[in-house]
Amino acid sequence: MKPVEGAMPRFGRFVVALFLLMACLLTIQVGAEPSRLQQVVPGRQLTFPHDLGAHQDFRIEWWYITGWLETGDSKPLGFQVTFFRYATDQHRENPSRFAAKYLIIAHLALSDPATGKLRHTEKSAREGFDLAYAKEGDTDVRLDGWSLVRDTDGQYQVDMQTNDFGLRLSLMPTQSVMLQGQDGFSRKGPEPGQASYYYSEPHLSVSGTVFRNAKPVDVRGRAWLDHEWSTTYLAPEADGWDWVGANLDDGSALMSFQIRRKGGGKVWAYAALRDRSGKMTFFDTDQVEFIPLRTWKSPQTRAEYPVAMQIRTGDIKWELTPLMDDQELDARQSTSAIYWEGAVTLKRNGESAGKGYLELTGYADPLAL
C-alpha cells in the first residue's frame, strides 16, 4: 500500500514543496484546479486491462511490486519496485510541452543479507518528451531508462539499473486479480472520501537478473503487485500506516493494513485473505490488530521501527520476522519520505506460512534530520 493524498505504501511527514508524494496522503483537501480531479466513490466497476494503466483524473497513483528472490546458490534476496504518478496543480489543458502537469517518481530497493543493509536509489522527473510517463489503457510507466511494462500475454517486464546495482525481471501472473475492499473500493478511514481504488496481483512468478556491483546474477522467485489511485486519502488525525502483502506457501494471499492515529490507536484497519481456490475472507477494523514484538533503531535517522510484528486477523495470529533489520529507505531526494520497507517471513498460528513485505511509515520525521 503506497497511499498518497491525505501515506506506499509503500505508504510519514513530507515536504509539500516537492509535491511530496506521502504528504499528499495526509492531506484531506487539494485546492488548485479541483474540478478536473475525480473522487473515489463506491460502485465503480474496475475493468481490465484498462484499469491496469494510468488514471490521470486522480491526484495520485502508484504501481508497487515487492518480492522474494533466490539466487542459483539458494541465497535469498528481497526487492521493491515502485512507480508513482502525481498530478500537480498545472491545468491539464495547458498546451505547453514544458508544463509540469504530472510528476513521475520511482524507487528501487534490494534487500541483500550478504551486505546486511538495504541498497536503494530513486528518481523523479516531470512527465513529458517520452522520457517520463504513465500511459492509460495498460501498464506502461517509464522514467529516464527505468520501466515497468505489461506485455500482451499479461507478463510484466521491469528494467531498472544503475551503475552498480539494479534488476531486469519478468513477472508472470499465476492467479487472478485480487480486488481489495468492496470490488476494488478500498476504504482508508470512516469518511466517504478516505478511500482508493485498489487491486493486487499476488503470486507473480519471477525470473530474470539482479545486478550487484554491476555483476549479473540469475534469480527466480515470487512477487506481489499493488496498484492504487486516489485523490483524497487519509484523515488529518492519521500519523502513518503499517501494511503487509504476503504470498503464502499454500497458494493463499494475505493483505492487511492499519492507519495509525496520532497519539496512539488506529483510525482504520483492514485485512483480506484469499485462499488458493479464490474464496475471499474480509476482516473489519475491529478484527485487525498490529502488535509490535521487537523494534529496531536506525543508526542513520534514529527512527525506531517495529520490524517484528504480530498481526491478528479475526482468530488468526500472524507473526512477521524480517529478513534483516536494516531495510530503511531514505527517499528524501524524491518524495522527502523516510520509511521502512522490508522482506519478512510469516508464521500462521505458530506454523511457517509464507513470505511477504512489511511497510512502516510515519516513524521517521525527515524535517527533524
- pLDDT confidence band for 53 (50 / 70 / 90): very high
DSSP assigned state of 369? -
| Right CATH for 16-30+46-368 from 2.40.370.10, 3.40.50.10320, 1.10.150.390, 3.40.50.1980 | 2.40.370.10
- Does residue 289 have a pLDDT over 50? yes
- pLDDT confidence band for 364 (50 / 70 / 90): confident
Q: What is the mean pLDDT of residues 86-110?
A: 74
CA 186 from chain centre, in angstroms, equals 14
Quote the cell numbers at residue 274.
484469499
- Alpha-carbon Rg for the chain, nearest whole angstrom, is 19
Which of 2, 21, 106 is closest to 59 using CA atoms? Answer: 21
- Does residue 35 have a pLDDT over 60? no
Its pTM stands at 0.88
Query: What's phi and psi for 57, nearest 5 deg?
Result: -90, 10
One DSSP character per residue, 24-73 reads: HHT-S---SSGGGSPPP-TTPPP-TTGGGS--TTSSEEEEEEEEEEEETT
Q: Contact, 284 vs 268, CB < 8 A?
A: no
CA 227 from chain centre, in angstroms, equals 8
- pLDDT confidence band for 60 (50 / 70 / 90): very high
> pLDDT value at position 191?
86
Which of 130, 125, 136 is closest to 102 using CA atoms? Answer: 125
Terminus-to-terminus CA distance in the chain, angstroms? 25
User: What is the residue extent of each domain of the chain?
Assistant: 16-30+46-368
Q: Contact, 21 vs 14, CB < 8 A?
A: yes
